[in-house]
Amino acid sequence: MTTSTIPQSGDFLRLFAKTRMTGAALRIATALAGSISYDGKHRGAPRGYAAFTMPELAELTGLSARSVRYALAELAKIFGLTIEHFGSYDRHLFTFTKVYDADEIAVSDEDLTPAKTAEIAHEKRASGNPLPPSLYTETKSNNDTTSIIQILNGAGSVYQTPFAAIIEDAKKGTEAAGMDTQFLWKGFHMLNARNDRSIAPLSWLVAFVRKAKPTFQHKPKAPAPAAPPAVCADPVLLMARPAPFANRAYHESDLRRAIGADAYDQRVAAIQATYHATRFAAQLAVHGQAVKEGTIDR
């Protein structure tokens, strides 16, 4: 529905936010709405029009020439965007005919003398005011992606939408980098459905992904402390350690020869009586003590 007054920038932005359109169309619409002449002088355009050459529009929005053409055709269907041509090297005049009536505004406004504005030389319109700085980078990844997301029950597969690549890019370098893309997509839909939203802007999806944190994180278990080596408390075994077990026969013959058979048997019997050990264990203990004392060799 058209009005007889030019909407303010905030009115345009609210209108654009409620309208489904591609990212490229949103860029073009925002650039045009921000350059509409309210005084009949801005950039050499009559009141109610925005003046641009196609290269200027592409430079300001960071879009390719093809994306600009597609976006203008889309805006013509949605907002009745019209373009008045004044030659290949001149600026074009743009106006949103389904939003407001620029011609009616120009006729009814006597203070701004639109007739004189219309007579501005083409050379002046071609130079005009300098372009405002571009708000966009060289990135064109979202140029043809819709700026509005329809919230659905069950969300569906993100890989059947253009948003999978956007989620993949948004989660790089964040805590969500290791999270599943489909899981993030479903979580975004669940959050908005819980808040009774039927649509959500694309910027909300990007913000949601960048702030997402894994709920369940796998934390490797700390290695169990190594069990301390078992401490031998058997005195008979401790006494037998100095003498290698494999040499027990040699130890017995060497010790018998060194101290005599009777003395050898007495030492073995003493160990048995003191520690209630078997004869074999007592013999090994006697051998160990003899090695320790230097009576026999290992």
Q: Residue 296 and residue 290: Cα distance in Å, rounded? A: 6
| Lowest-pLDDT choice from 41-55, 64-78, 124-138, 270-284 | 124-138
Does one domain contain both 93 and 160? no
Do 196 and 164 lie in one domain? The reply is: yes
Average pLDDT score, the chain: 78
Segments forming the whole domain that contains residue 29? 9-127
Note the pLDDT of residue 63: 87
Question: What would the pLDDT profile of 152-180 be if each residue is shown by its tens digit?
Answer: 777 778 888 888 888 888 888 888 888 88
Residues 93 and 22 in one domain: yes
pLDDT bracket for residue 72 (50, 70, 90): very high
Are both 177 and 119 inside the same structural domain?
no
| pLDDT, position 35 | 87
User: How many domains in the chain?
Assistant: 3
The answer to whether residue 67 sits within a structural domain is: yes
User: CA 77, 72, 10: angle at the middle one, nearest 5?
Assistant: 85
pTM: 0.40
For the segment 134-159, the average pLDDT, to the nearest whole number, is 63
Sign of CA dihedral 229, 233, 234, 238: positive
Q: State residue 153's pLDDT score.
A: 73
Whether residue 134 lies inside any domain: the answer is no
138 assigned to some structural domain: no
Would the pLDDT of 132 be above 80? no
* Euclidean distance between CA atoms 97 and 3, whole angstroms: 9
CB atoms within 10 A of CB 24: 27
State the pLDDT at residue 166. Answer: 87
pLDDT tier, 109 (very low <50, low <70, confident <90, very high otherwise): very low
List Cβ neighbours of 109 (8 Å cut-off, separation of 6 or more).
40, 47
